[in-house]
Amino acid sequence: MLILMTVFAVTLSWWVTWPQRKTSRFINLMATAPDRAEKMSPFSGMWRVMRERGHDRPYLEPHSRSLADILRGSQTFTVVLPVVGMEDDLIGTLHFEQGTLRGPIELDSRPKRTRE
């Protein structure tokens, strides 16, 4: 019984953290190998900006999840791309659902955060 509970706990932990792990790998590719990241999610306006302008390392801001989101293996993130020379950061919405990435889409901008 203890072995079954351990297997269940490990499986549940893997499932719950799956979206964060996958999107973190995607963000790492955006920073280190944008061509590979673009192949994972080709329909985004961020790729053009990343090629045309200097930028700092993109990062994720996770949105809250409902129980239904957890059970479906889905989560939404905001991808923040700090663009050099612009007053605003470029942001996009990245959706992860059952192993599939969509985004970063719905491109917008917002004032840069001040880093303390």
- For the chain, the domain total comes to 1
| Residue 97 domain-assigned (yes or no) | yes
| Residue 116 domain-assigned (yes or no) | no
Tell me the C-alpha to C-alpha distance, in Å, between residue 78 and each of 11, 38, 57. 26, 17, 14
Query: Residue 64's domain spans which residues?
Result: 2-111
**Concatenated DSSP letters for 48-76?**
HHHHHS-B---EEEEPP--HHHHHHTEEE
| Residue 76 domain-assigned (yes or no) | yes
Q: How far is CA 62 from the centre of its chain?
A: 8
pLDDT (tens, 9 = 90+) of the chain, 116 residues, equals 889 889 888 887 888 778 888 888 888 888 888 888 888 887 777 888 788 888 888 888 999 999 998 888 889 998 888 888 888 888 888 888 877 787 777 677 777 775 54
| Residue 7 domain-assigned (yes or no) | yes
